[in-house]
Structure 1
Amino acid sequence: MTDTPTTPGTPVIVLVSGDHAERLRTEFWRYSREYELRTATSCAQACDVTAAALADGRRVAMFVSDSRLPDEENVLAAFGQWRALVPTARRLVVAPYERFLLDAPRLRAGMAKGKYDAYLLMPRGARDEEFHHAVTELLSDWGWTSTDPDVVVAKIVAHDGDPLARQVRDFFDRMGMPCRVDPPDSEVGRHVAEHFDDADGYPRVWALGRQPVVVTSVRDVARSFTDTPAERDLEAATDDGTGVVDVAVVGGGPAGLATAVYASSEGLSTVVLDAGAIGGQAGTSSMIRNYLGFPRGVSGMRLAQRARNQALRFGTRFRTGWEVEELLAGPGGGPHLLRGSDFELAARSVVVASGVRYRSLGVPSVEAFLDRGVSYGAAMSRSRETEDQDVVVVGGGNSAGQAAVHLARFARSVTVVVRRPSLAETMSAYLVDEIAFNPRIEVEPCTRVVAAEGDDRLERLTLESTETGQRHTRAVSELFLLLGAEPHCGWLPAQVARDDRGFVLTGREVPKDRWLDGLPPANLATSAPGVFAAGDVRAGSMKRVAAATGEGASVVPLVHAWLAPGGRA
């Protein structure tokens, strides 16, 4: 039954309960301005309501179900049916007070396996904002990942399949900035063309408050958002006159962001430099479900942008598109110098939080299709393009698992290729369970990618068994490579000791012949005085978001001690 006035294109929320449909409709009435509410009293009727909505060309944003239904005692089975109809919809169980505790034990295990997204108590009074906070979080996540934005802050005009346009869109998405790619012959494309000569190329980018430009790299766009006259005026106003900052943080992932929040909140002048978008590798994760304090999970992008906004509030200055190419360690406790192709920054202390990059597959025929069907990392902005396609994810870590689960909302099939006999050796149990439950995801263990084929873009992959050597070729539209970690610290000087894999050594891991006065450096200090390391780039780190965040916070007292009078003696 339709309960609200509708306009074409309005997304639908399906409310299902045999006994409490009226209560659910009352509670969800506040969403009726933006969503069409359709109610059902049984699982079967909800299937009919959903099918009718899809036939009308509507998108279904959420299923909200009582913990028990008249025709389906196991509501998880009902969610399975609805998921088959609309894989992208968010799924919410709302139990009445008298059954909330009684039904919880049999239902919570299903949430851990990804069968639904949240288990909530049905509101018992007005203005239950904790309830609605959960609902709006899920709807926000649905809107960001499953639909094109209704309002954009950046317009990208490019020909179909332009690899650079995809990279620019990925940057905007990771920065939390809604954008859209339009072809040159579209209304938007013609409007933007008024600002260019006919000979100007593509892609063209027109972002809020900025002149339209033709971009030649993602770096062009990244620099334009944090290197503006307003930013330079702020820097001049807050500079102490020496031109030297207290803390330069290289890398804007979880470790670097935590350092920025704690350092700037304690009054240290702090600058974060990152070659790309804020968030690092973690920023590409579609949903991190085991991060403390987020019971319904949080996307890497949202976590990163919340941390960035928090750091900005305390005065941190961010420089995206600033790739550090050289660090000159200051002699005798003097300022360090960070250099890029067109900048220099002096800092009294440096925190290396540059993280890791995905390891190259090393197959030339695969590399030839980079950004034409092959991506390193999750590239969540491309997930909607995989609808009704067959995709492959290579990797056995949590990032690969998160990507597979997210892509399964759109793709017809997702194959996870891993060299090991199983995912359990390298992936968190909750992701292994979620993958096992999802009928769209298949795991091919003891397998590797050995070749790729296609005309203008990827069309086929050849996979090989690492046990038997047997090969088979399959049609594939997208390949996502999440192959473990290589440190990004080739820009560091010889004074900073590293292990044989290139990870930065800190504390007692530093070779004894590099200790000063027979004492090891502090736990997160490197062999170069005044240079510290935190997060995935550090040898021996856990390679987990929470661990990186903890190290980023823990390094700040060491920075304070270094900056204190006598600390550099």
Structure 2
Amino acid sequence: MAKPIILTVDDDPEVLQAVARDLRQQYGSRFRIVRADSGQSAIEATQQLKLRNEAVALFLVDQRMPRMSGVEFLEQALPIFPTAKRALLTAYADTDAAIRAINSTQIDYYLLKPWDPPEERLYPVLDDLLEDWLASFRPPFEGIRVVGNRWSPQSHQVKDFLARNQIPYQWLDIELEPEASKLVEYAETNDQQQLPLVLFPDGSRLIRPSKLEIAERIGLKTQAERPFYDLVIVGGGPAGLAAAVYGASEGLTTVMIEREAPGGQAGSSSRIENYLGFPVGLSGGDLARRAVTQARRFGVEILSPQEVTRVRVEDPYRIVTLTDGSDISCHVLLVATGVSYRRLMVPGMEQLSGAGVYYGAAQTEAIACAGEDIYVIGGANSAGQAAMYFSKYARRVVMLVRGESLITSMSQYLIDQIKLTDNIEVRTSSQVVEVKGDTQLKALTIEDVKTGMRETVDATSLFIFIGASPRTDWLDGVVERDRNGFILTGPDVMHNNKRPRGWILDRDPFLLETNVPGIFAAGDVRYGSVKRVASGVGEGAIAVQFIHRYLSKV
């Protein structure tokens, strides 16, 4: 924890040096001594301390200074650090002003110059003030702070990125937190169109940052250390993480490239209760954290956030191109990019995405929904897990399911939990046909798919879990896919028992191998895969065994 601050202000350099010396001698082990040579510079220093989220325990300020007296400084500093103790250093002639300031500016004490010897005339007074301050002191949050608006898509993206990468942060809503407005003012970002404002512990800040800018600032790796690897894995979900662990542990130089955050879609799950070996379940974030730690232990490089834009084959190498134009080559490429939730194309939906409409669990919004009604679209496990999670905060969770029941799409254990949760309502044969609102979600129009009857309900939060589609356009012209974009592998790339066109090896494609030798696919992105976390982990592990067999013949 950073030491609390004692800020001393005096325009006389010799006096300032002497005060700082005496303060450091007595309090330097417990407090950091900061000096300022004028009231204005002290105000600027105070604002910077606030932006760094440091704590000021005491202001020790000379009264007689040009342009800004000690009392005038304290009047401005009080709103910034209202709990800090305040003491004036005065000459005998200024004692009347100091006494008046006790009432007008809530001065805690005034000290006469000179204060020698400090053991008798300085330290006893400050000891009492500091002990009083410490009695009620609560250490401030030491980490990243995000100032923004709940209904801002940009704010939501920043929060979601930090949360999914398991970076602790503090959220300050500009409309609810008085401190948020002050921080925006101190950062000279008075236009709310410039939010979110991201403040880092060292006092630096970013305004409306991209994910890449945040990643670079917090130390995530976005560039590969070398130009060539045995194995390049695109996608950091369960399948990609499993392949990374098994590949690196068996001696393959391995890099994993993830466009959002390790863990993929599974990483955003609030609770996975049917994963083998965890009888009380675990969150997707916990699973991702454990897997990332394990992968890094074996030397896997993880690039995040980073994205592959295309792939080409120059035998015997497979080469991927990143968004910045750089290339990484490898012997073997494994595609494990998973799937994304399908967009719901109804009137008003796109403009409200991130402003009350969210795809996936969006756990960062759960606390903000306390006491409200939440609507969840979808009837599979991910929707059920989200409903259970949100039920802890919301007044009511309404699940809108297009089918006639949950039985065909959801695990029985989740169905049973939902039935036992009083504030979850399941509405079957229902679909959303319109969302309404200007800058934030205000209402939904829900249609009964059997009768066609419609009703409009007030709503501020809608979470969507409808189907899934792969993002595999970057494989165009190289890797065969089905009409929905899922990657064909093994027997599915055989046509009338014939090997794929252009296949040059004297064997059939391996089970998880695509139509291109040395390019494999695993997990949800693969055609015919079982959409479960355990199966994704299994396919990632199995893929490495086929990769070894491929490499043994190269």
Shorter-chain TM-score above 0.5: yes
User: Could you tell me how far apart the structure 1 residues matched to 2:527 and 2:541 are?
Assistant: 18
2:162 to 172, 179, 182: 172
- Residues 329-478 of structure 1 correspond to what in structure 2 (within 5 A)? 330-478=313-461
Distance 2:339 2:291 in 1: 19
Conserved 8 A contact 1:289-1:296: yes
Shift, 1:197, TM fit? 7.1
Cα distance 1:225–1:249, how it changes in 2: closer, same or farther (>3 A)? farther
Q: In structure 2, how many angstroms separate the alpha carbons of the residues matched to 1:344 and 1:522?
A: 27
Alignment partner of 2:523 out of 519, 535, 539? 535
Deviation at 1:213, TM superposition (A): 2.0
Which of 152, 156, 181 is residue 146 of structure 2 equivalent to? 156
1:182 to partner: Cα distance: 2.0
Structure 2 residue runs of 5 or longer lacking an equivalent are 1-138
Gaps of 5+ in 1: 1-148
For 2:160, the aligned partner's letter is D
2:288 to 292, 304, 312: 304
Cα distance, 1:342–1:189 mapped onto 2, change above 3 Å: farther
Separation in 2 of the partners of 1:197 and 1:441?
A: 41
Instruction: Give the counterpart letter for 1:507 in structure 2.
Output: G
- 2:473 alignment partner, SS class: coil
User: Counterpart of 1:498 in structure 2: which amino acid?
Assistant: R
Aligned to 2:307: 323
Alignment of 1:153-302 (within 5 A): 153-183=143-173, 186-187=178-179, 190=182, 201-207=194-200, 211-225=204-218, 236=225, 239=226, 243-302=227-286
Q: Distance in 1 between matches of 2:219 and 2:473?
A: 25
The reply on whether 1:553 has 2:541 as its aligned counterpart is yes
Contact 2:184/2:190 (8 A) holds in 1: no
2: CA distance, partners of 1:501 / 1:335: 24
1:394–1:482 Cα contact (<8 Å) kept = yes
Question: Per-residue deviation at 1:519?
Answer: 4.0
> By how many angstroms is 1:245 displaced?
1.2
**Letter matched to residue 305 of structure 1:** R
Query: What is the distance in 2 between the residues matched to 1:353 and 1:271?
Result: 13
Judged with a 3 Å threshold, the aligned counterparts in structure 2 of structure 1 residues 452 and 350 are, in CA distance, closer, same or farther, namely same
Deviations 1:454-476 (A, max 9, x none): 24311111110111101111111
Paired AA for residue 444 in structure 1? R
Q: Work out the CA distance in 1 between the residues paired with 2:369 and 2:255.
A: 38
> Measured at CA, do residues 337 and 366 of structure 1 come closer, stay the same or move farther in structure 2, by a change above 3 Å?
closer
Report the Cα offset of residue 266 of structure 1.
Answer: 1.5
- CA drift of 1:171 comes to 1.4
Distance 1:191 1:375, change over 3 A: closer
Is the aligned partner of 1:526 residue 2:514? Answer: yes
Kept in 2, the 8 Å contact 1:530–1:562? The answer is: yes
Measure how far apart 1:159 and its partner are: 4.0
Contact 1:154/1:180, CA 8 A, preserved across alignment: yes
Q: Distance in 2 between matches of 1:537 and 1:524?
A: 11
Write the letter of the residue equivalent to 2:146. I
Q: What CA distance in whole angstroms lies between the structure 2 residues aligned with 1:304 and 1:334? A: 30
Contact (CA 8 Å) 1:250, 1:351: kept in 2 or not?
yes
Mapped to 2, the partners of 1:304 and 1:288 lie a distance apart of 12
Q: Which residue of 1 aligns with 2:492?
A: 509
* SS of corresponding position for 1:536: helix
Q: Per-residue deviation at 1:397?
A: 0.8
CA deviations 1:126-182 (Å, max 9, x no partner) are xxxxxxxxxxxxxxxxxxxxxxx9845321122453221111111111122221122
After superposition, the C-alpha distances for 1:239-259 in whole angstroms (9 at most, x for unaligned) are 5xxx20111111111111111
Residue identity in the other structure for 2:198:
V
Q: Give the structure 1 partner of residue 119 of structure 2.
A: none
**Secondary structure of 1:346's partner?**
strand
In the other structure, the counterpart of 2:470 is 487
- Once the 2 structures are TM-superposed, how far is the Cα of residue 366 of structure 1 from its aligned partner? 2.2
- The 2-side partners of 1:187 and 1:465 are apart by 46
Distance 1:342 1:202, change over 3 A: farther
Counterpart of 2:106 in structure 1 is none
Give the distance between the partners of 1:551 and 1:392, measured in 2 at CA.
Answer: 34
Cα separation, partners in 2 of 1:348 and 1:223, compared to 1, 3 Å: farther
Q: Corresponding residue for 2:92?
A: none
**Structure 2: how far apart are the matches of 1:167 and 1:314?**
31
Instruction: Summarize the alignment of residues 77-92 of structure 1 with structure 2, pairs less than 5 Å apart.
Output: none
1:542 Cα deviation after fit: 0.4
**Structure-2 change in CA distance of 1:222 and 1:189 (3 Å):** farther
Answer whether contact 2:270 2:386 (CA < 8 A) is retained.
yes
Residues of 1 paired with 2:262 and 2:490: CA distance?
28
Q: Structure 1 pair 251/499, CA: closer, same or farther in 2 (3 Å)? A: same
Match of 1:120 in 2: none
User: Given that residues 201 and 214 in structure 1 are in contact (C-alpha distance below 8 angstroms), is that contact kept between their aligned partners in structure 2?
Assistant: yes
8 Å CA contact retained: 2:149, 2:173: yes
Distance (Å, rounded) in 2 between the aligned partners of 1:448 and 1:245: 47
Contact kept in structure 2, 1:153 and 1:179, CA below 8 Å: yes
Q: 2: distance between equivalents of 1:529 and 1:208?
A: 48
1:128 counterpart residue number: none
What is the number of residues matched between the two proteins? 408
Preserved contact between residue 317 and residue 332 of structure 2 (Cα < 8 Å): no
Provide TM-score, normalisation by structure 1: 0.67
Relative to 1, partners in 2 of residues 1:260 and 1:151: Cα closer, same or farther, differing over 3 Å?
farther
Relative to structure 1, the CA distance from residue 342 to residue 155 in structure 2 (aligned partners, 3 Å threshold; closer, same or farther) is: farther
Opposite residue 310 of structure 2, the aligned amino acid is E
Say whether the 8 Å CA contact 1:395–1:418 is kept in structure 2. Answer: yes
Letter in 1 for 2:321: L
Asked whether the equivalents of residues 249 and 353 of structure 1 are also in contact (C-alpha less than 8 Å), the reply is: yes
CA separation of 1:499 and 1:197: change in aligned 2, threshold 3 A: closer
Aligned partners of 1:265 and 1:193: how far apart in 2? 51
| TM score, norm. by length of structure 2 | 0.69
SS at match of 2:354: coil
- Change in Cα spacing, 1:459 to 1:497, as seen in structure 2 (3 Å) is same
Task: State the Cα distance separating 1:289 from its structure 2 match.
Answer: 0.5
**For residue 412 of structure 2, what is the amino acid of its counterpart?**
A
1:152–1:177 Cα contact (<8 Å) kept: no
**Cα distance in structure 1, aligned partners of 2:190 and 2:458:** 39
**Paired AA for residue 172 in structure 2:** D
CA contact (8 A) 2:443 2:459 kept: yes
Partners of 1:226 and 1:319 within 8 A in 2:
no
Amino acid at match of 1:408: S
Residue 280 to residue 210, structure 1, CA distance change in 2 (3 Å): farther
Q: 1:392 & 1:183 partners in 2: Cα distance? A: 23
- Offset of 1:367 from its aligned partner? 2.3
Is the alpha carbon distance of 1:473 and 1:511 closer, same or farther for their aligned partners in structure 2, counting shifts above 3 Å?
Answer: same
Q: Structure 1 pair 359/223, CA: closer, same or farther in 2 (3 Å)?
A: farther
> CA 1:473 to 1:563, structure 2 compared with 1: closer, same or farther past 3 Å?
same
